[in-house]
């Protein structure tokens, strides 16, 4: 097997260039709330409030992995956090940066670097790490979980969100969202890459993180609204914490 990275630009091989290209192609629309990114804009206040209910963000050092156009990074900075957003799609990072300038958001920076490379550089430097709607787009999500665990300080929090893998999530997240309701471009999510909570839980625990809470997001096609609750069948979030003593 070749030891060459898939994309020579990245020292990490844990990246799927086709996945990055999907997001790069849409990068100019990140801040259009009626675009393909409407679902992310809609769930943003819900996930932000949930994070803040567990760890107030004021003055925290926060890392947002796979930040895209900065929808969550920007919102966390507006809560008084010092945020670093990282992604490997340069176009998205430029859009994120431009948005921060235009909106006058203080305390947010963006950088093109892989989670694994940043973990080698800034181990145990962050109070909070977020990795939202990203794990299902990478070849080896467990390696991202490992990097998150390395990046967070003892006592700090790591938040994940992704798509569950079961017949219901296939129907709702792929067929419903991409083919019936046209909420997302076709091909956004690949069924085989979706992640069961039990799989994520295993990866998280293997890195010494404690699972503190799980939530689900549900979409109501009639009201076109999302709500957060206990149904983790389709889209779910997991809050984890690194114990003070490992
Ligand atoms: N986390 C953001 C964006 C989610 S979209 C939010 O929830 O609002 C998924 C993002 O993951 C895209 O921006 C894509 O470029 C990024 N991504 C995909 N593979 C990646 C990788 N290997 N490393 C870093 N980011 C990656």
pLDDT in tens, 178-221: 888 888 888 888 999 999 999 999 999 999 999 999 999 999 98
137 CB near ligand 1 (under 6 Å): yes
Q: Is residue 148 part of a domain?
A: yes
Q: Is residue 174 part of a domain?
A: no
Q: Is residue 170 part of a domain?
A: no
| Mutational test site, ligand 1, from 47, 134, 160, 187, max ligand atoms within 8 Å of CB | 134
Distance from the CA of 245 to the center of ligand 1, in angstroms? 31
Tell me if 70 sits within 8 A of 108, measured CB to CB. yes
Question: What are the distances in angstroms from CA 243 to CA 4, 13, 62, 115, 195?
Answer: 36, 30, 17, 21, 24
Distance from the CA of 16 to the center of ligand 1, in angstroms? 11
Q: What was the pLDDT predicted at 79? A: 98
pLDDT in tens, 158-190: 999 999 999 999 998 888 888 888 888 888 889
The verdict on pTM exceeding 0.85 is yes
Band (pLDDT 50/70/90 cuts) for residue 11 is low
Q: What was the pLDDT predicted at 13? A: 87
Residue 152: closest CA among 32, 64, 24: 64
Distance from the CA of 87 to the center of ligand 1, in angstroms? 6
Residue 81: CATH number of its domain: 3.40.50.150
The partner residues of 85 in beta bridges, in order of sequence, read: 64, 110
CA dist., res. 196 & res. 179, Å (int): 22
Q: What was the pLDDT predicted at 246? A: 59
pLDDT in tens, 112-161: 999 999 999 999 999 999 999 999 999 999 999 999 999 999 999 999 99
Q: Is residue 27 part of a domain?
A: yes
Alpha helices in the chain (DSSP H): 17-25, 38-54, 71-77, 90-103, 115-121, 141-151, 167-169, 197-206
Band (pLDDT 50/70/90 cuts) for residue 4 is very low
Q: What was the pLDDT predicted at 8? A: 46
Angle at 220 between CA 219 and CA 222, to 5 degrees: 150
For residue 34, the enclosing domain spans 17-161+194-213
Q: What was the pLDDT predicted at 233? A: 97
Total domain count, the chain:
1
With a pLDDT cut of 90, the percent of the chain lying above it is 85
């Amino acid at each position: 097997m070749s030891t060459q990275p898939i994309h020579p630009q990245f020292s990490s091989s844990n990246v799927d260039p086709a996945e990055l290209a999907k997001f790069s192609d849409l990068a100019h629309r990140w801040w259009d709330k009626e675009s393909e990114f409407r679902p992310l804009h809609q769930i943003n206040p819900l996930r932000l409030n949930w994070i803040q209910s567990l760890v107030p963000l004021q003055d925290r050092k926060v890392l947002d992995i796979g930040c895209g156009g900065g929808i969550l990074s920007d919102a966390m900075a507006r809560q008084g956090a010092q945020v670093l957003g990282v992604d490997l799609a340069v176009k998205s990072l430029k859009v994120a940066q431009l948005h921060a300038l235009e909106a006058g958001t203080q305390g947010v920076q963006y950088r093109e670097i892989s989670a694994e490379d940043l973990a080698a550089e800034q181990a145990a430097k962050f109070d909070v790490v977020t990795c939202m709607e990203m794990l299902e787009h990478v070849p080896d999500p467990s390696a991202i979980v490992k990097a998150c665990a390395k990046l967070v300080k003892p006592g700090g929090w790591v938040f994940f969100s992704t798509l569950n893998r079961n017949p219901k999530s296939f129907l709702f997240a792929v067929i419903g969202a991409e083919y019936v309701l046209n909420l997302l471009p076709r091909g956004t999510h690949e069924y085989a890459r979706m992640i069961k909570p039990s799989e994520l839980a295993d990866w998280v625990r293997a890195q010494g993180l404690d699972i503190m809470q799980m939530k689900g997001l549900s979409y109501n096609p009639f009201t076109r609204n999302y709500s957060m609750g206990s149904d983790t069948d389709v889209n779910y979030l997991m809050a984890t914490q690194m114990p003070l003593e490992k």
